[in-house]
């Protein structure tokens, strides 16, 4: 069976308490990275959500902003 391409779209706003565990969970699962793309859409967060996202973005090739 061929592994399908999966796109995950995560909208967020002021999620500094939850965004890191969510993204780490997605990135640490066993689905092949080459078959997955992750889009994170920040709605203008005023807390540290964007800094957390940027740190993970710099470390992972499947994260798209």
- The model's pLDDT over 29-61, given as tens digits with 9 standing for 90+, comes to 999 988 998 899 999 999 999 999 999 988 887
20 pLDDT above the threshold of 80:
yes
65 pLDDT above the threshold of 70:
no
Segments forming the whole domain that contains residue 44? 6-64
Average pLDDT over residues 17-39: 92
Q: Is residue 11 part of a domain?
A: yes
Q: Is residue 1 part of a domain?
A: no
User: What is this structure's pTM?
Assistant: 0.84
Domain count, the chain: 1
Going by C-alpha positions, the residue among 10, 7, 31 that lies closest to residue 22 is 10
Buried b (16+ CB within 10 A) or exposed e, 18-49: ebbeebeebbeeeeeeeebebebebeebeeeb
């Amino acid at each position: 069976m061929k592994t399908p391409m999966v796109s995950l779209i995560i909208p967020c706003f002021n999620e500094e308490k939850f965004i890191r565990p969510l993204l780490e969970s997605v990135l640490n699962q066993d689905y092949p990275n080459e078959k997955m793309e992750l889009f994170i859409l920040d709605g203008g967060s005023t807390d540290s959500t964007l800094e957390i996202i940027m740190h993970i973005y710099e470390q992972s090739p499947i994260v798209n902003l």
